[in-house]
Amino acid sequence: MKITELSPQYSVSPQIVLPDVAELKRLGFDVVVNNRPDGESDDQPSSDQVKREVEEAGLRYVYNPINLNNLSVAEVSTQNELIQSSDKVFAYCRTGTRSSVLWVLALHNDNVSFDNLFTKVLEKGFDLNRCLPAMQPLKK
């Protein structure tokens, strides 16, 4: 599991497997957010499987799946509530990109902050350029 910290309270990664949950608990995460819709690939664990594992570990599980073709304020708001909480949040999707997109959209206040956050994510290894068409309508 490759975890990328975007802020001290928010980290992202590609798809996790069930044994990764114990490591997330050990690392001090409070919340695990699944931003990947079920059924994208045959090898991904289902949301229900991950939820069961996360809750058995004593962590909170949030299912906030996004599809960049119909990304809405609702998904961004859900992620923002978690980001703004005092909890240490771990979010994942297939590659970590969608979880990073939500972080940028949740935290930006204007074009300058959007560009700064976007650049920070690029520097962390996530190319969000292909996501810009989905992100533009949700910019503040």
Check if the beta carbon of residue 6 is closer than 8 Å to that of residue 12.
Answer: yes
Which residues constitute the domain of residue 115? 4-138
- Residue 110 region by backbone torsions, left for phi larger than 0, else alpha for psi between -120 and 50, else beta: beta
The segments of the chain whose pLDDT lies below 50 read: none
Q: What is the CATH number of the domain that holds 109?
A: 3.90.190.10
The alpha carbon of residue 72 and the mean position of all alpha carbons in its chain are separated, in whole angstroms, by 15
Number of domains in the chain: 1
- pLDDT given at position 47: 95
- pLDDT given at position 1: 87
pLDDT tens sequence across 58-81 = 999 999 999 999 999 999 999 999
- pLDDT given at position 110: 86
pTM of the entire structure? 0.94
- pLDDT given at position 92: 97
> In what order do the strands lie in the sheet containing 60-63?
4-7, 10-13, 89-92, 31-34, 60-63
